[in-house]
Amino acid sequence: MKKPSILFALILATTIIFVTLPATSLNACTRVVYNGLNGYVITARSMDWKGEIPANLWVLPSGIDRTGQVGPNSVAWKSKYGSVVTTSWDMASADGMNEKGLVANVLWLAESKYPLFDPNGTKKGMAISLWAQYVLDNFATVDEAVENFKKDEFVIVTDYIPGSDIFTTLHLAISDAGGDNAIFEYIDGKLVIHHDKSYNVMTNSPTFDEQLALNKYWKDIPGTIMLPGTNRAADRFVRASFFIDAIPKTDDTRIAVAAVFSVIRNCSVPYGISTPNQPNISSTRWRTVADQKNLVYYFENALTPNTFWVDLTKLDFSPNAAVKKLEADKYQVYSGETSGLFKETKPFVFQGI
């Protein structure tokens, strides 16, 4: 009998992986971190969702008093650092970078299971809408954030997305200007922290430890020969991992930012994609690229013909500064650097429980 070709074996292995992954592996969003030359770090993410997910950009100064929005037993803090964030429906910070170059990205994770919250208990709570903002407000580095979360002083509290039957299940990725990374997931009611500089890619399902295991398999197959090409989360993880290491390592801003954009676009889901019997595969709605060395935050909406950016060094993050908003939820078109286009606005209210 003729032996099967190497290509056939690879296709067979890919098929086996596909059929054994749970349906939850079909969720959306990708996040990737680039380490260039001379400390050049860039974090990019795509926001994928089955319907429209209106996004606006906000300038949030330091010195803001916040609570966890879960009642009297909420954790409370005053923001130490200012940030630029992209909101979802102006009720949650989905993505952002603070003035120290720390970036936070929340992505969907269907396997999430959060601890029970007792409104009258000893442990305080925080609504999941504030998870990323808490990190941006309080920490300059990944190390600082990890040490804080290790104390397990409060729990994340979640609920259904308002007006829907979708129960919010997220995991959080953070990176800093030094290139360090951490992933936070709640599995079976326990917080699991993955902390290592090498953890520069995250998608959705399966859980991060399983994502690493799948990627280890593909590392034995040269990416120049074959890469998984579907829009499933596991395949996007493999492609992002290969391409982010394959693009040029440079400290040239023009080349680095363009290269990172090319990676996150490659891992995006084409607009209007609809896969029968796989409703969790979602189109990419918008993308961000955060230049953590130069403190520039780029934004790209899938339904507008351009990319614009915000230079954080031109913003006022002092405690008495105004909260400002740049509307992008109606596909507004902007050109180039937009820090001067933000308008003073009443702060949005984080969705509580």
Task: List residues with catalytic annotation.
Answer: 29
DSSP code for 101: S
Helices and strands (H and E) in the chain: how many: 6, 20
Task: Identify whether the C-beta of residue 233 lies closer than 8 Å to the C-beta of residue 278.
Answer: no
Cα-atom radius of gyration of the chain, to the nearest Å?
Answer: 20
- The first and second tokens of residue 102, run together, are 């720390």
- The first and second tokens of residue 82, run together, are 């200012």
Phi and psi, residue 92, nearest 5°: -160, 145
Q: For 36-49, give the DSSP string.
A: -STT-EEEEEEEEE
- The first and second tokens of residue 117, run together, are 């919250």
Question: How many residues would you count in the chain?
Answer: 353
Q: Where are the beta strands (DSSP E) in the chain?
A: 30-35, 41-49, 55-60, 65-67, 76-78, 83-88, 92-98, 103-108, 124-127, 154-157, 170-175, 181-187, 190-195, 201-202, 283-291, 296-301, 307-311, 324-326, 336-337, 343-344
CA 80 to chain centre: 21
Task: Identify whether the C-beta of residue 295 lies closer than 8 Å to the C-beta of residue 99.
Answer: yes
Task: Identify whether the C-beta of residue 56 lies closer than 8 Å to the C-beta of residue 81.
Answer: no
73: left (phi over 0), alpha (psi -120 to 50) or beta: alpha
Q: State the CB neighbour count (10 A cutoff) for residue 212.
A: 17
